[in-house]
């Protein structure tokens, strides 16, 4: 297995096989596109849309109130929310967002850093192409 700038070629091959890319070039194209989008979002005012997924234990004291308060404070970025009961203790909340990426990232950071949130994930896509 050969190595290029700290990355084993086998790692990239495993990635493109796992994700179903036709070849390495397609996988690299998507990685570069993602890096470019992140760079542009740091410096641009373009609008993006996406989702914030939160997995949490709803028995955690004051968590539901804190989640609600943050969402009300940032209501301009929130288009919709959906709440799922995964089992007796755990919930999944999906929050659909739209706005400037830095503001959405701030919202996501506030939500995912709350005590009792087990996992959070922000996914964004630009509304206009780069």
Helix ranges, the chain (H): 9-19, 24-43, 63-73, 101-112
Task: Check whether 85 is labelled as a binding-site residue.
Answer: yes
Task: Check whether 58 is labelled as a binding-site residue.
Answer: no
Task: Check whether 59 is labelled as a binding-site residue.
Answer: no
C-alpha span between 13 and 41 (Å, rounded):
29
| DSSP conformational letter for 62 | T
Q: Return the axis-axis angle of helices 101-112 and 24-43, rounded to nearest 10°.
A: 100
> Cβ atoms within 10 A of the Cβ of 95, count?
25
Residue ranges for the known binding site for Ni(2+) are: 72, 83, 85, 91
Residue ranges for the known binding site are: 72, 83, 85, 91
């Amino acid at each position: 297995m050969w190595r290029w700038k700290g990355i084993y070629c086998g790692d990239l091959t495993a990635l493109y096989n796992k994700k179903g890319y036709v070849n390495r070039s397609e996988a690299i194209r998507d990685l570069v596109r993602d890096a470019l989008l992140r760079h542009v979002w740091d410096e641009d005012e373009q609008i993006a849309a996406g989702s914030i997924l939160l997995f949490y234990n709803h028995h955690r004291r004051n968590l539901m109130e804190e989640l609600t308060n943050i969402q009300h404070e940032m209501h301009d970025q929130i288009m919709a929310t959906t709440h799922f009961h995964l089992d007796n203790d755990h919930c999944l909340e999906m929050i659909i967002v739209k706005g400037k990426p830095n503001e959405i990232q701030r919202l996501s950071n506030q939500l995912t850093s709350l005590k009792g949130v087990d996992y959070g994930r922000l996914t964004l896509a630009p509304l206009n192409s780069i």
